[in-house]
Amino acid sequence: MSVCPLVFRARRAARGACLAACLLAGAAGAEAATSWRTLKPSAAPGETCIAVQGQQYDYHRLDREDPAVVSLRGPRRLKIVTRYVFGADDPDERRYTLRVVMDGREVLRKSLRARPLAGAHLCGQGTEVSALRRSTINVPTGKHDIQIFAETEGDGRVAARFYRESKQQKARDVAFAPEGYAAVRHLQFASGTQSTYYWFHADRPLRFAVTGPTTLKLYTRLDFTHTMNGSQTYSLELLRDGESQNTFHYHTGKLSAAAYVESPDILPGSRKLLRISVPRGRHQFEVRCVRPEACGIAAQIRIPESDVKPR
């Protein structure tokens, strides 16, 4: 069965892609933060190539009776991206129905509207193709066989790509101790919890050595006295292997719900974050407080746990 006829007719360009449809998966904005991996079906009626804005993509054909079949172990989500390939006599708008059967039970029947998308066509041909439509289903725990069908009302056909949700373990940061600093401070919060900070000032900069590639998180807090009101500014200069990389400027306020155990007369400023990209190899870093002249800074360094494990 051919995905499209060999003959085609010219038609006017659509105004652009419609918003993606999403089923059982919440808003599209939440989906954007999820990692997806291509899933190849174990069976499909055939394949076709679709070009969009000059980029070519392999799609799998869908049929009314002969399903595309994927196997997936849950719990995770399955995303199905479909496009309508217009037939020679199709009008500028068509509808098609996407059906999904999981373990013999229909879990999705969804009617979708298709209009031609400017710049989308079959590879090497002028046959028009619609904007893509996304459908997402939840796959429960265990291994499941999933069949995907498409029913069309015109001469065209439906092409699809499949993606499985990739569950990635969240990266964990651990504390990283510098080699050079003026003193250690313990910041105690009203809840009773404590955090260790390394204090430095204009005459005693913060120094540490680290092997890349990695990315460090440097958290800093400006010192405040009890009599200081309002917000303050401070500037930090970052040096790598003796060469200045950049100077960073911060605007911070006083944090009244915490105090340093060793220096109760000093209050911490709100925490500010600097991400430090470390290139490959061993490097020496130095962080200097260049403003205000008599500044005191409490610092905390975090490094991805995977970058301190033996490799």
Q: Which CATH number fits domain 28-165: 2.60.120, 3.30.2010, 1.10.10, 3.10.620?
A: 2.60.120
Q: For position 127, what pLDDT does the model report?
A: 94
What confidence tens digit (pLDDT) does each residue in 144-156 have?
999 999 999 878 9
How is domain 173-307 classified at the CATH fold level? Jelly Rolls (2.60.120)
Summarize pLDDT for 21-65 with one digit per residue, the tens.
Answer: 333 333 333 333 468 999 999 999 999 999 999 899 999 999 999
State the pLDDT confidence band at 20, using cuts at 50, 70 and 90.
very low
Domain ranges of the chain: 28-165, 173-307
Fold: same for 28-165 and 173-307: yes
On whether the pTM is more than 0.85, the answer is no
Torsion over CA of 294, 298, 300 and 301, rounded to 10 degrees? Answer: 10
